[in-house]
Each structure stands twice: as C-alpha cells, then as structure tokens.
Amino acid sequence: MFFQGKLIVTSHSSPSSSSSRPFHYPQPGRGLYCGKVSLDGLARRFGTPLYVYSGDQIAERLSLFQRAFEGREHLVCYAVKANSALAILKLLADRGAGFDIVSGGELERVLAVAPEAAGRVVFSGAGKTAAEIDLALNANIIEFNVESEVELALLAARARKLKRKARFALRVNPDVFADTHPYISTGLREHKFGIDIRKALGIYKGAGGNRWLEAHGVSVHIGSQIRSAQPFGAAVKRVEKLVGQLKREGIELKSVDAGGGLGIDYHSGAFDAAAKVAEYAAAIEKSLAGFEGRLLIEPGRFLVAQAGALVAKVLAVKRNGKKTFVITDAAMNDLIRPALYQAHHDIEPVKPRPGKARVVDVVGPICESGDFFAHDRAMKPLEPGDLVAILDAGAYGMAQSSNYNTRLRPAEVLVEGGKARLIRRRETMADLLAPEITLP
C-alpha cells in the first residue's frame, strides 16, 4: 500500500485489536476487512457511504483503561460526544463503563439504552440549561462538573426546587499547555472552559453553607488529541495540590475527574495502544499518589476513533490542469474533520489495483472547495465504482455529520466477531422533510 509516496507493508493476518486498527488485508486479492468481515460485502449489503465500526476493538480499548487502573477505585466515563451511537453506548455500558455527557440529549441517549448506568454519568459542559440540570438531577448522576460560579448558583437553585441534593465538582483550569489543535485545547486561562484554579478554594468554601450542594469532587480537562502523558500528569498534580488544601479546610472530596484527551496516531504505521494507556496511567497515578478517593477518566476518541472507517464509492476521476481529483460519494457532511481541522485520515482502496501510485486529491461532491478528505495524496490507481475506506473515522465522524446540500446521512454497521449488524439505517428524504412545515 502507498501513503504519501511511501510503501507501507500491512500484515496478512488480523491485527491485535488493542495495538492497531482492525482494518486489514487478510490475504492478497481478498480486499480490505474489518476483523473477519469484508468491507466490499458490507458495501454491497448496506450501500455507501457507510460507517463501519469494530465492536471488538472498542471493547478491548475500554479494558486497557480498566486494567491500567485496577489498583485503585476508578470509573472509565466514555465521552459520549465522540460517537453517540446507541449500540456503542450499550456495548460500553454492558462492560461497566460510565459516561461523560455534555448535553441533556446525550443523557437521554444513555438512559435509552442503559437506564441503570445513570449513576455512572458525569455532566460536563460550559452551558448547561435549567431543563438539562433538572433531567440530570432526577436521574441521580454521579456529579456535575461545574464550569462557573453562575452555573453553580443555577445548580443550587434547581436542586432546591426539586428538593434533590446536587453533587458537584468544579472544573478547574490548571493553565497547562497541551500541544494540540487550538480548536480542541481547553486548559489555558484564555479558553471558555473551567474556573481559574486559584479561585477554586474560595468557591468550594462558599458553597459549604448551601444545604442543596455537596462538594463531591474536582475536575480537569486540558484538551483533546494529546499524544504525551506529561501534560496530564502536570494538570492532575495541580489538582492534587488543591485537594490537599481543601482537606485542610475540612472539605474532603470523594472523586478526582482527570478528564479525557489521550490521542491516537492518525497516520499509517504501528500504534501501541496498550503502551500509550500504560504511560498515561503511570503519569496520573504518580500525580495522585496522595489521593485515596475515586478516579474518574473520560476517554472518547481513544476508544472509538481507530475502530471506525467511512467506506465510500468512487464516482469519478478527473483532471483539472495538473491536478487529479478522485470524487467519492462521501463528503464533508459525512466526515468534516479534514475540512474543519485540516485533519489527516489515511485512505485505503478496498480492493487495490495493480499499477503505479499517483498523486491525487480525494474529494466529495458538495459545492464547496473545502469538501475534501486528502490533498496531494499518493495512492494506487482508482477507477469509478471502486471503494475506498477513510480510516480512523470512528470519533467525531457521524457525531459531527450534517445534511448540508440536503444529503442523507450514512448508515452505520457494528462488527463483532464474524458478524455485522446494522445499528443505524440510512436516512431517507422523508426523515429530512418530516420536521419541516410549509406555508399554506
């Protein structure tokens, strides 16, 4: 296989789900598989564009975190915003995961598939409404990760109204720099998220006199797609210092929420997920050595990104001047990360053709020059009707999809073992038009 001019050798055996992608070529000429299931067969059965996820890899990634922290009380709270498919939430809930939500709608999704998991939910986000707070209070979630004094006052008012004590954790801003895309960096003072850690002690003390509030924990989240463990350790160390200050003031917290943000490798090559989780866990444990309460962590992308691919059909191959464009039936409305973040996704032909690689742009049919998946990418020859798999699309793919250009969103399929099942049917035009009201 060729990527950006380099030949990458792929094993002909199924890769370990914990250490690499589940998408592979089992034998020459057989095409690309997800685990034991042919992507070509799935495309014939369900059509394209099509999201395909490996349930086996998602389960294995969850277990990596659970094993890494088995020496202390902990809960892995999956960040629902990464991929909120009901079947994936059910898969994780059945394996003991908790959930990090950022909206009332995400809580409704969790409750729809696993009502018993309400007590494993933390509610993050900078703009919670009264209705969302009421929903979460009635569900009796673990805690609210509070992002401002205004929000804390609203939480207290809603708790008083419903006569339900609200457990809260302040999301503190440790002012720790994380080397990631500026759109997904959240740990500095100039960001909209969190409360200045220097003000936290006073806010906790001030809440102590309110009978409807319980200071349950402290939370931190410094960003997403962070590849080094060092920033996580530095942030948690500052949180651990705050926990000690609070304890000396008679406020003993029951939990520390270390947030999420552990990144993956979006480029081709070996990726040792187990080693990354071990490095991350070691940094957290070292910084929390003096804390005996419950640790909460919120991985999202790390669990689902590499487990997913967007399968698309080539509609046309055309030249404009010196440029060659491969136009697919998937578009930026299906996967916006390249257009929004200039993000890299490896792209594999489902059935590679022989011949010399050529440099192409892989694009969609939307009426925007920003509708692309790859610029100047060296790929094996592609012809109309061929299938390609856009890899590492399990996180922030379908979750950020839209109906721009009145396009129907893709179907989704979950592969477990040698079986594949449809977990979301393809949208119809009736689905899109149903909420709209025409003038008489």
Q: Angle at Cα 253 formed by Cα 250 and Cα 258, nearest 5°? A: 145
Determine the Cα–Cα distance for residues 348 and 389; give it in Å rounded to an integer. Answer: 5
Determine the Cα–Cα distance for residues 115 and 417; give it in Å rounded to an integer. Answer: 27
Nearest alpha carbon to residue 145 among 127, 163, 119, 162 = 127
**Helices first, then strands: H and E counts in the chain:** 12, 23
Catalytic residue among 289, 367, 434, 437: 367
Determine the Cα–Cα distance for residues 35 and 21; give it in Å rounded to an integer. Answer: 9
Which contiguous run of DSSP H or E holds residue 60? Answer: helix 55-68
Q: Which residues of 324-350 are buried (b: 16+ CB within 10 A; e: fewer)?
A: bebbbbbbbbbbbbbbeeebbbbbbbb
**Active-site residue flag, 77:** no
Determine the Cα–Cα distance for residues 380 and 294; give it in Å rounded to an integer. Answer: 50
Q: How many CA atoms lie within 13 A of 380 on its CB side?
A: 17
Cβ contact 53:415 at 8 Å: yes
> Looking at the chain, how many residues does it have?
440
Please count the other Cβ atoms lying within 10 Å of the Cβ belonging to residue 400.
17
> Which residues are the active-site residues?
367
